[in-house]
Structure 1
Amino acid sequence: AEAEDGEMAQRIAKHRAERPTHWQTLETPQWVGAAVAAVDPTAYEVVLLDCLTMLASNVLLALPEAVDAQTAEDALTAEIEALLAVYERTASHWIIVSNEVGLGIVPAYALGRLYRDVLGRANQRLAAAADTVLFMVAGLPMKVK
């Protein structure tokens, strides 16, 4: 997340302070696959991406306002494929957090519907590549795969 106001800056600072001190953290709003590849992910036992939902939002909001659905889909797909390319080169255990935004009502505005659709397909792509998929409900894990 990026701090657009004081309240968000405080939230980010709180999250940073709550992280274990031994974690090596890489914060990047986009091009996460390239950023992770640049720090040699093979050196890590665990790679945690928190979260795909925010990454998808950042990708879509960086596009021109009148973008068509296919261009948006292609932009997020490129991010996902870059992540998967790094994932496939490592023996690291990856944990990717995402939200299931398709469970609610259909958004009333076009960007919201586009976001819901492309994030849903990104979640499907990552789930297909994953060994295990968990769906968290009220803090309890439900094994999907």
Structure 2
Amino acid sequence: MEESKLIFISGGVRSGKSSFAESIAINHAKMINGNLHYLACGKATDPEMLDRIAHHKETRNSSELPWTNWECPTNIGKLSPNFKQGDVILLDCLTTLLNNELFIDERAWEKESYQEQIYHAILEDIKNIRDQCSILIIVSNEVFNEVLPKSEIVFAYERLLGYLHQSITKQSSSAYLIESGLPHVMKGEVNELC
């Protein structure tokens, strides 16, 4: 079986990364005559997040191709049996997934062994999903340039996210940084944007 394609897309808050990822997913689904799946990791924890989730759903519902939506804030690997070759999966977003996994237990994040366990579990879940589909697109936030309060919890989160970004980018065929709605190719070919 041919290894699936992995595409990594990151950017700041409201940079346009999700819209860009959706357009890439649609283009790939058209090229391979595949099915679109949206793996949503967000939880409606406040009115702003509720509005963002509703906006993303509305965008997908008005898409030229149909999407199958999966809401899974943790343990995304359990969905892998639902996918098959020819599927294009958009995971949105890694930042939220890490947050959900890391802070399930209020104090466990303080243990380095727990942080390592979360890191490996997320990568294993991504591998399991990737093994079942043709194309996996992962969206994440670039939080490293934002001014965040410096604390042990923020440092642990940033460090883990940085390691995840590096590992995923190393495995990816393409990586993009989105700024003000404009994609910058960090790895791979520009022709994928067409």
Q: What TM-score do the two structures reach when normalised by structure 1?
A: 0.85
- What are the ranges of 5 or more consecutive residues in structure 1 without an aligned counterpart? none
Count of aligned residue pairs for this structure pair = 142
- Give the aligned residue type for 1:76: Y
Q: SS at the partner of 1:135?
A: strand
What residue in structure 2 maps to residue 135 of structure 1? 177
Matched, 1:28 2:72: yes
Aligned pairs (5 A) from 1:16-95: 16-20=57-61, 22-35=66-79, 37-39=80-82, 41-66=83-108, 67-87=110-130, 89-95=131-137
What residue in structure 1 maps to residue 25 of structure 2? none
| Higher RCO (Cα < 8 Å, 6 or more apart) | 2
Distance 1:105 1:8 in 2: 21
Percent identity over the alignment is 31
Q: Deviations over 1:29-66 (max 9, x none)?
A: 0011222x131x21543110010010011011113415
Name whichever structure is richer in helix by fraction: 1
- What are the ranges of 5 or more consecutive residues in structure 2 without an aligned counterpart? 1-41, 188-194
Deviating 4+ runs (over 4 angstroms): none
Name whichever structure is richer in strand by fraction: 2
Distance 1:76 1:63 in 2: 15
Q: SS at the partner of 1:101?
A: coil
Q: What TM-score do the two structures reach when normalised by structure 2?
A: 0.65
What residue in structure 2 maps to residue 8 of structure 1? 49
